[in-house]
Structure 1
Amino acid sequence: MFISQVILSSILIITGYLVSKYPNLIAGYNTMSKKEKQKVNIKNLQLFLQWLLVGLGVFSIISYFILEAFGISIERIISINSLIIVVTVIIALVYVNTNKKFKN
């Protein structure tokens, strides 16, 4: 199961770096018209998503080792990490859609 945590963390970290280089990977941004894209502060959005995804990847692997050290079962570790990732992504979506720093 450690391999699944490494794969998940690697995917999140790599995606974070790819989003910073290729903004069209951001869901919804690639389908916007040029007029709609001008309303988005893409630099702030890229930076936020990069830090979010890299942070989640690093957190996932660190929390695995910490929870395993406390003797928590692998199934619970995966459940806890999954729950934290889902909740964090939901909070981040609300933040991005309501904060004015991501709009021009």
Structure 2
Amino acid sequence: MNQLLTLQEAAERLRICERSLRAFVDAGEIAYIDLARPHSKRRRMVFDPADLEAFATERRRKACPSSSGKTPRISGMNSAFKALDFAALRASRAAERQKLPSESAKPKPRGR
């Protein structure tokens, strides 16, 4: 087994801050060994260098050649939707509501 690294040493090896390392641990992206007592509330994390290397390898990215250059802008409208004039639509709906007889104008039946 390799020599285990503390939280600070592991963060330095990955060149990230301790807070970021804790976030990766909490997300389950980096494995750790907990050396705390069984019923302790605090974790005492140490890291295997092999786990850190696996994390770094998994996160390694290569720039995609198709996305590295600028693409020409596409112009023109391909949409079949019409532009709406919301103010005119609202006014027409209000006019329709005024044309309909209101519910309060109808006489209510009285029960005896």
What is the TM-score of this pair, normalised by structure 2?
Answer: 0.28
Larger Rg: 2
Q: Which has the higher contact order (CA 8 A, sep 6+)?
A: 1
Relative to its length, the structure with more helix (as a share) is 1
